[in-house]
């Protein structure tokens, strides 16, 4: 399978995001400007997305190693990743609703940037994987993984930024 090098590289990047985010959260414990429950959801979302990317980067390689025909390997991988992605977003939606019930309403940045980014990623990944059930093209599957990797990186940035002083706090303190 010629795509195996790309798939393994994608898996390594996803592991790096998970590792660095864990390190940042441990080192910055107690210094985040965000509510710990919000940070917890972000961390879990980032780790789950990274694990999705790692696991589903390996599935086509493993199937190929067992002699599964490429078309079937890509179709099966797409179906499994679509199911896992929809399950992940179902969990994320429930976690966000739970935060809302706890009185943690989304900020303007969350409403205008984070939530639309998540919804666009879900839509794009779902459409790509649905199309790939028919087409079984490695490039389509890799694009879906890349979008999930983007989401993991986006969550990583949100986690890191939550530990940095905010500009408006710096301006008010000066």
Residue 153 pLDDT level (bands cut at 50, 70, 90): confident
Q: What are the tens digits of pLDDT across the range 42-73? A: 888 988 998 899 999 999 999 999 999 999 99
- Asked whether residue 113 is domain-assigned, the answer is yes
Instruction: Give, in degrees to the nearest 5, the angle at Cα 173 between 169 and 174.
Output: 120
Average pLDDT over residues 121-146: 93
- Asked whether residue 174 is domain-assigned, the answer is no
Q: How far, CA to CA in Å, does 20 sit from each of 13, 16, 28, 32?
A: 11, 6, 12, 16
- Asked whether residue 171 is domain-assigned, the answer is no
What pLDDT does residue 12 have?
Answer: 86
Distance CA 130, CA 141 (A): 10
Distance CA 115, CA 79 (A): 25
- Asked whether residue 172 is domain-assigned, the answer is no
- Asked whether residue 170 is domain-assigned, the answer is no
**Whether residue 148 has pLDDT greater than 70:** yes
Domains held by the chain: number: 1
Range of the domain at 61: 4-165
Average pLDDT over residues 131-137: 91
**Whether residue 159 has pLDDT greater than 70:** yes
Cα four-point dihedral sign 159, 165, 168, 172: positive
Share of the chain above pLDDT 90, in %: 48
- Asked whether residue 55 is domain-assigned, the answer is yes
What pLDDT does residue 37 have?
Answer: 85
Q: Where are the alpha helices (DSSP H) in 102-137?
A: 108-109, 115-135
- Asked whether residue 118 is domain-assigned, the answer is yes
Average pLDDT over residues 143-170: 80
Distance CA 54, CA 19 (A): 13
Q: What are the tens digits of pLDDT across the range 8-53? A: 788 888 888 777 777 766 666 666 667 788 888 888 898 899 889 9
- 89 alpha carbon, distance to own chain's centre: 10
pTM of this structure: 0.85
DSSP state of 164: S
Average pLDDT over residues 102-128: 91
- Asked whether residue 173 is domain-assigned, the answer is no
């Amino acid at each position: 399978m010629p795509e195996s090098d790309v798939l393994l590289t994608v898996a390594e990047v996803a592991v790096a995001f998970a590792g660095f985010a864990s390190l940042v959260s441990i080192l910055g414990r107690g210094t985040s400007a965000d509510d710990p429950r919000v940070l917890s959801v972000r961390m879990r979302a980032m780790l789950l997305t990274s694990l999705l990317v790692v696991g589903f980067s390996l599935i086509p390689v493993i199937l190929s190693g067992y002699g599964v025909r490429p078309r079937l390997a890509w179709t099966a991988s797409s179906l499994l990743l679509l199911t896992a992605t929809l399950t992940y977003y179902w969990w994320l939606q429930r976690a966000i609703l739970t935060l809302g019930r706890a009185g943690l309403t989304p900020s303007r940045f969350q409403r205008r940037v984070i939530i639309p980014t998540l919804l666009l990623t879900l839509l794009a990944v779902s459409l790509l994987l649905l199309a790939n059930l028919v087409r079984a093209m490695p490039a389509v599957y890799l694009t879906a993984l890349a979008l999930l990797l983007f989401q993991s990186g986006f969550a990583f940035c949100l986690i890191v930024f939550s530990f940095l002083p905010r500009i408006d706090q710096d301006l008010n303190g000066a």
